[in-house]
Structure 1
């Protein structure tokens, strides 16, 4: 089998009302999805999605004519492109989709999975009042979720902690609560001050009292020394790594004892090929591998496969904060039949379809395709 062509297409879904993401000062009026299609001489097309693939154009010849099964070779080329340009890892997902389809097996089975489901935590995205967040938490519990993640981003962390207090009061110990401080990175237009170590330590101390499962990104993503120091000061697990990009970064974080929970996203960092190496490495050092999944439904699916195949994680992230962030918005490029949802027990179950196991909605793709790369809202 040989690769015969690579296509990259962009799609843009209008959001009305806008989605006010906690980590983004600008309300999101549109939601972009980039999809890469890898064609072969045997009629099998692999599909991946994730980052914008900026800078990939002009490098197609490095893959055309090659065997799609040679993922180690391809991952090295993608890693080189990643260094010079944007993150090209959706291509790796498409290659694994081809391998699964050609083998007539779902990818998670090719990775050695023993199970076909894992508990999902509802990953919320908005800043709302503490009363509203508590009400939404109860609704999530009624839907079957056993855990949820609350975003921090108030100017005063005490206001964020008050939200967790209200949620814990409402649901008791029926759900695990994760907290995402979103201090690891910022949007290009966000110039607000990042937490210092003292702030992170004070927040962690307060969250201990509320039995929080983990505190995510309380410090910049490359501040390994202070994250390791913070870990020694608190019983709350410290999580991070969603925007770290290279294998050696995770190696160094792990060797320095920086994190309890590692969260690389295969749609953004390393694909499945390097993702499995990262998972093996950090788990061998006694840590949890529980990936970030906040791209789109295809990204959630790809990370689900690697969690089922390799991870000891008790949970997978499930971006979901209705009504602002619904399954229909997140998975808009997929057919309704392959959109993701949990079962009544809170599990996210993988399909037994070959490859990554989803179908695209061709009518939706025609309606929302754009001929440019969308990077955010412009000032009006």
Structure 2
């Protein structure tokens, strides 16, 4: 059997063109986001096969992810790259004292994605086809043009530009202290785009239960695709009550960092749309476990962020999903995703279909290498 011979880890800091603000900033809980910390794992086997994996952190945690990945990497040298599930478990036990969620598994996620990328490349298949694709394109929606720091006039311009570019849905950030401003912005975008345009809103966990109740009721008239994270991410009972009461679907799950957390969310009936994030839950191996539970419960899927990875995972989900379009990560890769008629096309290149750009190398802050290049 082939064996993992060499691993290269990279900590890359991706600067954002403009500081990003959502409801968490306006409530004083977080500072505007100015950069994203990326963790890349590049694997090479004795037979010369390669795989690229990624994880990430926003605002904090990037150095910790890299440090933990550096501790775990030697565990993989000499291992059979085919044994992905076993290796995930081995890595998890290697860091068992720091837990099975959060930063601990996010470091594992970069290795896990790289192993799947390697396996798909070796089979000369796109990752979606390796997993068993249901479709060759996925409905997509744009978030990056709808943040709260964007003036209303520019918000309308951004929404129109996204639709003209071929992106299907538009997501708007809400959750401002003045709730009338939220309603005014959503009403303006609905009027500007028309009754049939898919629109979502995202409160980023900033409402309490009474406020969420009132806002969900007020948003019923706007024919939204979903209302995202109206409550704290851990308030599964509260989300379930909203999902049961209102016609507008409730979406949540992006902040959860384990299979067990998502299982609880599904068990409570707290999400009409489940929003797992593969890097946040520890990679593709746990993501597939979450997706299987969601399918069994009849829950719709809308993976969070990292469209370059999630377009493949969404394409392998039976019920028509949504993928979040963020162009923030594009400078890190030599390839681009294609969009047409409201849908994101699944790449036909083997694996993820990605290679790191010269810019990604230039933004690299730390590297670590293990094993010997074949």
**Interval containing the TM-score (normalised by the shorter chain):** 0.7 to 0.9
- Across the aligned residues of Structure 1 and Structure 2, the Cα RMSD in angstroms comes to 2.1
Residue 143 of structure 2: aligned partner: 123
Structure 2 equivalent of residue 144 of structure 1: 166
Does residue 203 (structure 1) correspond to residue 215 (structure 2)? The answer is yes
- Counterpart position of 2:9: 8
Q: Distance in 2 between matches of 1:30 and 1:372?
A: 19
TM-score, normalization: structure 1?
0.85
1:367 correspondence with 2:367: no
Q: Partners in 1 of 2:351 and 2:251 — Cα distance?
A: 30
Alignment correspondent of 1:48: 53
Aligned pairs, number: 345
Paired position in structure 1 for 2:224:
212
- Rounded to whole Å, the distance in 1 between the matches of 2:121 and 2:308 is 15
1:371 CA displacement: 2.8
Contact 1:48–1:92 (CA under 8 A) maintained in structure 2: yes
Query: Which stretch of structure 1 is more off in the superposition, 28-37 or 98-107?
Result: 28-37
Q: Secondary structure at the match of 1:291?
A: coil
Q: Of 199, 211, 214, which residue of structure 2 is paired with 1:177?
A: 199
Aligned residue for 2:279, secondary structure, equals coil
Equivalent-residue separation in structure 1 for 2:197 and 2:177 (angstroms): 27
Counterparts in 2 of 1:206 and 1:314: CA distance versus 1, 3 Å: same
Select the residue among 84, 88, 99 that pairs with 1:83: 99
> Is 1:19 equivalent to 2:19 in the alignment?
yes
Tell me, what secondary structure is at the counterpart of 1:371? strand
* Equivalent residues of 1:38, 1:95 under 8 A apart: yes
Look up the match of 2:59: none
Deviation at 1:78, TM superposition (A): 4.1
- Specify the SS of the correspondent of 1:332: helix
Q: Is the 8 A contact 1:261 1:287 kept in 2?
A: yes
CA contact (8 A) 1:79 1:270 kept: no
Give the Cα–Cα distance (whole angstroms) in 1 for the partners of residues 131 and 82 of structure 2: 14
| Match of residue 372 from structure 2 | none
Q: What secondary structure is seen at the aligned counterpart in 1 of 2:99? A: helix
In structure 2, the CA distance between the partners of 1:150 and 1:67, relative to structure 1 (3 Å rule), is: same
- How far apart in 1 are the matches of 2:15 and 2:130? 37
Q: Deviations over 1:325-346 (max 9, x none)?
A: xx3x4311111xx122412x12
In structure 2, the residue matched to 1:236 is: 248
Measured against aligned partners, the alpha-carbon deviations of 1:273-314 in whole angstroms (never above 9, x if no partner) come to 121121111121111011001xxxxx3221111111124234
**Contiguous gaps of at least 5 residues in structure 1:** 184-193, 294-298, 320-326, 374-380
1:256-275 aligned at under 5 Å gives the runs: 256-275=268-287
Q: For the residues of structure 1 that align with 2:90 and 2:250, how far apart are their CA atoms?
A: 32
**Residue pair 1:217, 1:240 contacting (<8 A) in 2 also:** yes
1:36 equivalent to 2:41? Answer: yes
Q: Give the one of 321, 336, 340 matched to 1:339.
A: 336
